[in-house]
Every structure is written in C-alpha cells, then in structure tokens.
Structure 1
Amino acid sequence: MSEEGARAPPAVPLAASLAQFTEKLITRRGVEQSNVLFGGQIGPATKALSARTNAIGVGDKAPHFSLPMAEGGMWGLGEHLALGECASLVVVFYRGTWCTYCNLYLRGLLEVRSQLSDANAALIAVSPEAAPASGDDASAEDARFPVLIDHGGKVAEQFGLTFEMDDAAKNVLKSSGLDLEKRNADGRWILPVPGTFVIDRSGSVAYAHVDADYRTRPEPQEIVAVCRSLRS
C-alpha cells in the first residue's frame, strides 16, 4: 500500500507525550535537580491556588480584558463576544515558549484545529512573555491564532492563576541560561498556573482546567468535545 493510501496512525495521547518529556528531562538534569525544579514550581503554584478567593470556574462570567497581540494590534474579549462569530472561545494561559510542556499542549491543540473550527470555536493563547513567537514553539507564525502578551500577569491574576516559583527553581533555570526577568514583558518571574478555559457566547465559563502541576494538561479531544457541545 502506498504512503498516500495508508491510514494515518492514531495520535499519541498528550499525556503520553508529556510523560515522555518528563522522563527525558529527569535523565538530562538528574533526579535531584529535577525534583528541585518540579517542587519549586508546583509547590508555590499549589499554595497560590489554595489561597485564591478570585479563581474563575465553570458558571462564572469571564473577566473582560484587552491585551496586545504578539504580531501587533490589540485583542479584546468584549469585542470578540460582541461580534458573535463563534459559538465558543478557548483561552489558554501558558508560561512561555521556553516551557516544553506548554509547547506540546499548544501543538496538540493545533492538531485538532480543524475540529475546533468545525465546532465554531476560536482559540487564543495568553502569556507573560514579551515576544512569545519563535521558531521553536507552537505559537510561531503558522499557528494562526492570537498570541496575547499579558504584562505582569494582570489578566492571569484576574483568572486567579498567578504565582512565583521559589529561588531554588529559579537558580536551576538560570544555570541553564533561562532568565525570565529578561523574557517576561514586565521583567519579573510571575507566571500563570497553566489554565484552559472555554467561554460561551454569553461570556460564561463552560469549562475550566487548572492544575498546579504544569506537567499535566487536558487532552485536546476533551476541549473539542466541550466546544462541540456549545456549537448549537
């Protein structure tokens, strides 16, 4: 059978891809350094989430916000909803193009982009990174969805997501040449806990996935199923 006629292999579940990368990361950095990196981010994120009184969840109205796009211009939630062109909007808060977990997740969403389009769903990504588009991530020029720059994590804060990793984790990243003070728009280490929200036509949150463990993300097909349920 020719390659053209062969059936495409089933997509690898996102969870499996994330787990494989975690194994590679531990092999590369070693168990001790990896535990410092994981614990120094997951611990503070967990503490920040547990202390939040403003966390946005299913049934809440999404905060209206307006942010600059990486490619220029502004994008506003209020304006988007007013157009009424989409049945739902998928909002992804991601840490930055330096985070392979975030890139794997966004690539997974891009793989189901046609299914999201069929469900009449739009997609945006929100990051504190000053210039999130690069040649080594899913938000590069072929992504075809708005990438918004969240200076200081102000919008992430509105959704109840912001935290700051501990100094030990910062030092591990700095030792490998990654300094978020230089990459983030406000020059700080403030990050969003990775969150995915699906917002319906009325501006209400129909789905929310927030996990302090940044190594865990929802399967793209789960997002597609939610958007399909909102199509009508």
Structure 2
Amino acid sequence: MTLQSKLDAFKADFEAGKPPYNVPYSVIETMHRATAELIASGAAQRALKAGDMLPEFSLSDPDGKIVSSTDLLAHGPLVISFYRGVWCPYCNMELQALQEALPQFQALGASLVAISPQNPVNSRKSVRQNNLSFPILSDPHNDVAAHFGLRFEMQDYLIDLYKSLKNDLPAFNGDPSWTLPMPARYVVGQDGVILYAEVNPDYTRRPEPEDMLPALKIAAGRSAV
C-alpha cells in the first residue's frame, strides 16, 4: 500500500466523520477553504526548486545536539522532509513511510532529516510515536522553512478553528506566531544543489519516498566521482 493510498484512506474516514473523529462538516469545509486559498496564493511555486542552492542551516535535535546541513552533506547526499508537527496524522504517516525507506536512502550514501516548528519535547514524541531512527530537528519560528519559501501565516478563521479543536500550535511550537510550513521534500547533492523538490500546499498530499531514488542515484554517482 502506497503512502498516498494510506493518506487517502485516512482522509476519507476523517471527512466521513467516522469514529473516533466525529468532526462536523463545517470543520471539513473550513479546512478545504484554507487549502484552496493556499493553493491559489501561488506560495508553492515560489518555494525553492530543483537547481536552487540549499540554504545552509543548523538546528537542534530533541537532545539539544546541533545538526548542520554542512556536516550532513560532508558525508553524502541529504534528504530533507519539512512537516507540520506530531499533531498532524498525515505527517506521522509520512514519517513512518520515510523510516521504512531509510535503508534505501542509506544504501545510496544519503542521510535523512525531518524538520518541523515544534519544540524538542514534541520532537521526542515524534521519534517515539513513529519509531524513528533519523534526526528530527526543531525549526523555531519556522525560520529555516522561510528560507526555503515554505512558511505561511495562518488566516484568523483557521486559527479560530484550530483553537476550537484544542490544537494549540503556540504551545506545541513555543512560538505565538501561528505559522506553518507547507509539507515539502528535498534531495540535495553534496555540492549543495537541490536535485529534487516537492512542495504541496495541500497537506493531505505527500510524495512517495521512492520518488526520490532517481535523484539520490544521480547524487550518489556524483559523490563517487
């Protein structure tokens, strides 16, 4: 079963109001409105693409260790996944799929990191809940996401919805700004050039981990030269 088919099945149950979700349709309508507006804004088209240079970053893992893109690229190509947080079921399913694909990435000499705005406590929860063995990094205020062109400000009506659902992003993130990153996936060669980029303003859509293998094979070939 592909990652997207799992996401589609979850979405169908959630939007049908099946237990344990039982959400009113007005909630679904608001989420659809927010997604449609983000798509229409063209934000995804302005994000970094294949051929662009990676913005260097240094972020903390849940234990406070600083992980830098420079150090990671010194050892081989890099896969980066930007996700919204442990509160997002779509993100958790994506992280699990990336964990399953990790041996394929490692066989090509690549490292994998995931980046979210959540604080270290919730990053530890991401690791524990999804049985992850790759670094989860905290991006305070979505600053690194902004350098990639991924950060967006949530509209007031969406903030009100999140509050009504007890989804307190300022508490999750330790940041009062109510911003999120668009989910995104990147493959970066050791020279810092982005070889693969997938950005989707619809948070229910995620690329398959296998979609990155062609770019990783190219990167591995360049690294061997």
TM-score by length of 2: 0.87
Q: Could you say if the C-alpha distance between residues 46 and 144 of structure 1 is closer, same or farther in structure 2, counting changes exceeding 3 Å?
A: farther
The CA deviation string for residues 197-222 of structure 1, in whole angstroms up to 9 with x for no partner, is: 10001010000000111111101111
Q: CA deviation at 1:128?
A: 0.5
- What percent identity do the matched residue pairs reach? 31
The CA deviation string for residues 34-54 of structure 1, in whole angstroms up to 9 with x for no partner, is: 1202322452365261684xx
- Corresponding residue for 2:116? 127
- Which residue identity is paired with 1:203? G
Within the candidate set 60, 83, 90, 1:68 is matched to: 60
Q: Could you say if the C-alpha distance between residues 42 and 99 of structure 1 is closer, same or farther in structure 2, counting changes exceeding 3 Å?
A: farther
Within the candidate set 156, 174, 186, 1:167 is matched to: 156
- Corresponding residue for 2:169? 180
Alignment of 1:66-145 (within 5 A): 66-81=58-73, 84-86=74-76, 88-131=77-120, 132-135=122-125, 137=126, 140=129, 142-145=131-134
Native 8 Å contact 1:130 1:185 kept in 2: yes
For 1:51 and 1:220, the matched residues in 2 are separated by 21
Native 8 Å contact 2:61 2:138 kept in 1: yes
Within the candidate set 43, 56, 80, 2:48 is matched to: 56
Q: CA deviation at 1:121?
A: 1.1
Within the candidate set 204, 207, 210, 1:215 is matched to: 204
The CA deviation string for residues 70-107 of structure 1, in whole angstroms up to 9 with x for no partner, is: 222111112322xx322x10011111111111111111
Question: How many pairs does the alignment contain?
Answer: 215
Structure 1 regions of 5+ residues with no counterpart?
Answer: 1-11
- Corresponding residue for 1:24? 13
Q: Which one has a larger percent helix, Structure 1 or Structure 2?
A: 2
TM-score by length of 1: 0.85
Native 8 Å contact 1:44 1:165 kept in 2: no
RMSD, aligned α-carbons: 2.0
> Bigger CA drift: 181-190 or 115-124?
181-190
The CA deviation string for residues 100-121 of structure 1, in whole angstroms up to 9 with x for no partner, is: 1111111111111111111111
- Corresponding residue for 2:20? none
For 1:220 and 1:30, the matched residues in 2 are separated by 33
Structure 2 regions of 5+ residues with no counterpart?
Answer: 18-22
Within the candidate set 127, 137, 148, 1:148 is matched to: 137
- Which residue identity is paired with 1:186? D
For 1:106 and 1:200, the matched residues in 2 are separated by 21
For 1:120 and 1:111, the matched residues in 2 are separated by 16
- Which residue identity is paired with 1:33? V
> Bigger CA drift: 182-191 or 146-155?
182-191
- Corresponding residue for 1:38? 32
